[in-house]
Chain A
Amino acid sequence: MNQNRISLNHIVWFLVLAGFLADAALADADRPNVALFTTGGTIQSKGDHRQKLMEYNAGKVTPQELLDDLPELKEVANIQVTEISNIGSGGIDAKLQLKLAKAINAALARPDVSGAVVTHGTTTLEETAYFLNLVVKSDKPVVVVGAMRPFTAVSRDGPFNLYNAVRVASSPKSKGLGVMIMLNDEINAARDTTKTNTYHMETFVARDMGPLGYADSDQLVFYRRPIYRHTFKSEFDISKLDDLPRVDVTYAYQESDGAAINAFVAAGAKGVVLTGSDADAVKKGQSKGVVFVQSDRKGAGRVVESERSAQRGIVTSDNLNPQKARVLLRLALTKTTDPKEIQRMFNEY
């Protein structure tokens, strides 16, 4: 009798459990699959106490810790994690960027994957995001996310940023908008967004242009679509590349001269992004095949195309800031060294 009751109990529990599992399996299949690539950064950093918002060197957060910390993600999407690196963004180089881009392209080529999320340090986040914007071969959303406060801090922004990034990456609304940056509830376009503040959480701003939309609690809302070429409309192909040409950036200030330009050329730069200029050094560099792009240190507004710069064989950067102009010039140099052709690219991307 007793035994019978136990077995009946067992059966009931088994049925309940089976029901749960079936539910879970069904829900898993219903939810979109999002590929998460982790590279490190503040979002994956630990401080030695929870009020520590700087110099957080007390350890790294593994991808699994990120996911365990945010069980709510399961309601949004099934996450498949790939660890690319676990370093601050100051250490991200061309090789890592290429590894990341190839991994994203492979993931998004799978029909069952809805989108990709990349964790990244904020310092050079905009550069990797713009790079991906130029080389990802898909109209599926790619969202680069970071945090201004470490994993261990009170009032940390990382978890909600990551949650929102996964929402954006799994939504059909986000298709075809290029690579996006997700912090502070704002959905920003990779091309136009720059880090504008060292420690504040509203640091990523698309000057002049503003965000594409918001990840609000009631819905993801989009107001804008970028016009410049990106992702699935881009001509750049990195599938056979394992490094990128060296391109350096000069900073302009009163009395700055050609010393930096000459040194970069001597170090083997194939391209130099200028914020100021020095006519002699540029001419010398050009005679060695170096391509020069004129950008600006102001942080907003276009460098307009002019007859004078065209005559001097200097490409104008549109409104790309120097670090973004560098990203585009590196990719351009994988295809051509013709300033006219590179100017076309700067007008289109």
Chain B
Amino acid sequence: MSIDMRTSVIRAGVRGAVASIVLLAACVPVFAQEIPKYAPPPPMPAAGTKLPHVVLMSMGGTIASRATSRLNITAYGGPGVPRVDPEDWYRDEPELAGIARITLEDQRAPQDRKSGTETQEDFARVSKRLNELAADPSVDGVVVTHGTNTMAEVAWYMNLTVKTDKPIVFVGSQRPWSGLSGDGPRNLYDAVRVAASKGARGKGVLHCMNQFINTARDVDKTSAYRVNTFQGVDVGVLGFADPDQVKFYREPLRRHTDGSEFAGKVFDTLPAVEVAYAYREAPGYLIDAMVANGVKGIVIEGTGAGSAISGDGKQTDAIKRAQEKGVVVVMTARTQGGRVQDNPRRRESKIVPGDNLLPEKARILLQLALTKTTDLAEITRIFNEY
């Protein structure tokens, strides 16, 4: 090896080392949440102040995700990018300790599974755990993080199966914990404020993002990436987590948590229920396939005011075949707003009106209803009350 070659190897090595250091320096800071250092944290309460006890439970989600660049707000996570542990939230946002005594709890699905791949096993486990926490007299409220794509469904499931009047608040973020102008930290802070508030008691499972306090029943993700994505469909918010205080204007009238006939029970498995979407010329064979696969119920996401597609080989024929095999059919509407109403024609065709529930939520209620009954009048009652 010539001196020149040796030099170039050394040079390459040095360059590599320098590059690695630069890379490390570039990576390490962006793994943390971008909390501005230009202003101090808010004043903390005096030592010995009795703060409410809030359990901060992670079911993961974007709020528990990182990217290697703070401008990456769409394709974060993945192999080699560590997730955000509950301890990281607490370390990055020490002011949480100023509003509640926080206990951290990790209920994430295993590392290699994304939030969208959770199964009933996970929901049953978390529901059971929330029932335990609710029964613990030392706990004042629980905050649960979850990925935003399916969090409304998970919150709705908990709203029906957790027996408590204590606040349970679901929260997430649209941007990863490492994202520039990330919404996670303030959402988390507000969710803890809501869970620690007296006003949140007895209102069922709540959802708090973007300062809005919504019910698990009515909240829906309405935009893929905007931070104001969660809206209370039709009926709006219950209140606000505003800068000065947590304010409630409404209480929900539908049955939930303490008042739910499904609460406190553990459902390790639930009857299979699938959703069929209605669109021009939608065929019946998808519904036939659901029945062949053994579904106990089908939710139709109907057109307009709640209609399936009729005609030879189309949905309405397949619905009749399904009903003959004992499958319960519930009608919702793809309008994403407004009620599917009860009327004589619908009753004649033995279809349960899904009120104003979104199909994915009607599916969960039907699954729970089918654990008790297959009687259509009884299932209609359940859809009218929850």
Contact = CB atoms under 8 A, between A and B. Distances in A.
Interface of A: 192, 206, 208-212, 214, 216-219, 221-228, 301-302, 304-306, 318-319
Contact of B236 (A206, A219, A305): A206
B74 interface: no
Contacts of B235: 209-212, 223-224
State the majority secondary structure of interface residues on B. loop
Contact of A302 (B218, B238, B242, B248): B242
Interface residues of B, number: 27
Contact of B339 (A192, A206, A212, A221): A221
A306 B342 contact: no
A223 B253 contact: yes
A228 B245 contact: no
Given A302-B247, A304-B244, A305-B245, A223 B341 contact: no
A106 to B, nearest CB: 30
A225 B353 CA distance: 23
Given A217-B341, A304-B242, A225 B234 contact: no
A210 B249 contact: no
B339 A225 contact: no
Interface of B: 212, 218, 232, 234-238, 240, 242-245, 247-254, 339, 341-343, 353, 355
Given A211-B234, A223-B235, A216 B341 contact: yes
Contacts of B252: 223-224
A226 B249 contact: yes
Given A304-B244, A305-B245, 20 more contacts: A192-B249, A206-B236, A208-B212, A208-B240, A209-B250, A210-B236, A210-B237, A211-B234, A214-B339, A218-B343, A219-B341, A221-B339, A222-B253, A223-B253, A223-B254, A224-B252, A225-B251, A304-B242, A304-B243, A319-B249
B170 to A, nearest CB: 19
A216 B338 CA distance: 10
B75 to A, nearest CB: 33
Nearest to A219: B342
Nearest to A223: B235
B250 A306 contact: no
A218 to B, nearest CB: 4
Nearest to A225: B251
A319 B254 CA distance: 25
A301 B249 CA distance: 12
